[in-house]
């Protein structure tokens, strides 16, 4: 005797099975945004969320060291504004050396931040 095939959907491999569940809480605005995107794409909300997870790019948060660099840059920017104000009132020649010194420090700090972000 031959076995009759039952038909139906073929079994998924263990890697293809959707066996993990994550609960996500959304505010009303986010929920309806997800539903609208799902309707527009002709998909379910779950499929849209799954694709968003697969296709998203995650950027790591800034380290405390990088935050310190940003604070220093902010302070240097304030100093540059003060130098510009001083240059407008007293003339550029008196403030040129201050400007070049600060500009060099800013360049070094930016290079340091770029090197740190490339190493992480």
Question: For the chain, which residues make up each domain, given as ranges?
Answer: 23-58, 64-119
Structural contact between residues 113 and 69, judged by C-beta atoms closer than 8 angstroms: yes
pLDDT at 120: 59
What is the pTM for the complete model shown? Answer: 0.45
Percentages of the chain per state (helix, strand, coil), in multiples of 5? 65, 0, 35
Q: Measured on CA atoms in the order 90, 93, 98, 104, is the torsion positive or negative?
A: positive
116 token code pair: 């740190």
Residues in the chain predicted with pLDDT less than 50, given as ranges, are none
Q: What is the Cβ-side half-sphere exposure of residue 25, based on CA atoms within 13 angstroms?
A: 0
Over residues 4-20, the pLDDT tens digits come to 777 888 888 888 888 88
Over residues 86-103, the pLDDT tens digits come to 777 777 776 777 777 878
């Amino acid at each position: 005797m031959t076995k009759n095939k039952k038909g139906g959907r073929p079994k998924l491999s263990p890697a293809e099975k959707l066996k993990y569940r994550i609960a996500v809480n959304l505010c009303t605005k986010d929920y309806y945004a997800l539903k609208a995107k799902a309707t527009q794409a002709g998909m379910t909300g779950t499929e849209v969320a799954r694709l968003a997870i697969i296709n998203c790019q995650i950027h790591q948060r800034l380290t405390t060291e990088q935050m310190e660099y940003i604070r220093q840059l902010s302070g240097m920017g304030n100093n540059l504004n003060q130098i510009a104000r001083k240059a407008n009132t007293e003339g550029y020649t008196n403030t040129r050396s201050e400007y070049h010194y600060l500009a060099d420090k800013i360049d070094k700090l930016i290079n340091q931040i770029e090197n740190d972000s490339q190493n992480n």
